[in-house]
Amino acid sequence: MANIGLYIELKDGVLKKSNRELLSLARKSGQAVHAVLFCPDVQPYLEELKGIQTVIQVKGADLSYQPDRYARTLAAVIRDFKLEVFIGIFSAQGKDLFPRLAAKAKASLVNDCLAVDLDARKAVKPVYSGKLLAEYQVEAGTALFTVRPNVIAVEAITTTNAPEIKNAVMDSGELRTKIISVQKSASQKIDLTEAEIIVSGGRAMKAKENFAILEELAKVLNAGVGASRAAVDAGFATSDMQVGQTGKVVNPKLYIACGISGAIQHFVGMKTSKIIVAVNKDPEAPIFKKADYGIVGDLFTIVPLLKEEFKKVLS
């Protein structure tokens, strides 16, 4: 039986939703699964971690995310617990951490996977801005995979088996790169990379204040609000809202693009959305070639109508 490791990402002490997807994938593998958490107390998370073999709790005076320390600590965990496969989320932190970890652990990394076979050490990932899907096989050494959020179905936990808790010590060595401060977004926004529904606005929003109509629709749908780069560059939206090649890669069940033309650089960030709805007043807009449903019309008329209709249906 192989040893599968799993990096559990916490955000403000809360287990990120995508961890449940990784846990479902790992539980199905039939291998021994070991979850690693950097936290002072694992008790609040144990309910979610049922059905795996071990919880490895990393302890230390300062557990704040510092990439050098996290990478060295995880490399030691991989060595000490003889982990042959190690997986994490393709999140902002995963993108920062896993390449460093691959270097420290002398492991092979396949990033941004859409499917992973943990037993066969194989993964499928998009290449050339999503034009092709490539299959990778890690032949030797430790295999690291990061998995795109929202691609793996979360399975209900059917076992009551509690994992055994083991400890690891946080590395306290030199920091070559130090995170000095983290600026949090003022509002409590839904994380776009994990959102199930996203309403996005483009240049056609015309002003920052006009994003309020997208926020109202998003509130009804419990959705996140995204933006095109043109909207961000014009100052209508903040950079953490940008979807696309130089923004976030999102993978919701429903993506509603309002006043967005459908440039390739935007499309690569949202093309794996399960359903794409486009609202655009130009019937020739390229987005209509990519959308599952298209509404030709002025977004300032359509979006409030959509909000009212969804409100009726969902109430």
Ligand X SMILES: Cc1cc2nc3c(=O)[nH]c(=O)nc-3n(C[C@H](O)[C@H](O)[C@H](O)COP(=O)(O)OP(=O)(O)OC[C@H]3O[C@@H](n4cnc5c(N)ncnc54)[C@H](O)[C@@H]3O)c2cc1C
- Smaller CB distance to ligand X: residue 91 or 142? 91
Least Cα distance to 87 among 30, 142, 11 occurs for 142
d(CA 85, CA 109): 10
Those residues whose C-beta lies under 8 Å from the C-beta of residue 28, and which sit 6 or more positions away, are 155
- Smaller CB distance to ligand X: residue 119 or 298? 298
- Smaller CB distance to ligand X: residue 172 or 246? 246
Sheet containing strand 122-127, edge to edge, reads 115-117, 122-127, 132-137
- Smaller CB distance to ligand X: residue 83 or 231? 231
- Smaller CB distance to ligand X: residue 259 or 294? 259
**Residue 34 in tokens:** 């070991």
Closest CB 217 distance from ligand X, rounded Å: 14
d(CA 179, CA 68): 10
The footprint of ligand X (CB under 6 A) covers 202-204, 228-231, 242-247, 259-261, 263, 265-266, 269, 279-282, 285, 298-300
Closest CB 257 distance from ligand X, rounded Å: 8
DSSP count for the chain of H helices, then E strands: 8, 17
Closest CB 270 distance from ligand X, rounded Å: 9
- Smaller CB distance to ligand X: residue 173 or 283? 283
Closest CB 261 distance from ligand X, rounded Å: 3
Closest CB 39 distance from ligand X, rounded Å: 33
C-alpha distances in Å from residue 299, one per residue of 66, 115, 277: 43, 36, 12
C-alpha atoms less than 13 angstroms from C-alpha of 104 in its C-beta half-sphere: 19
Rg (alpha carbons) of the chain, rounded to whole number = 21
Closest CB 283 distance from ligand X, rounded Å: 9
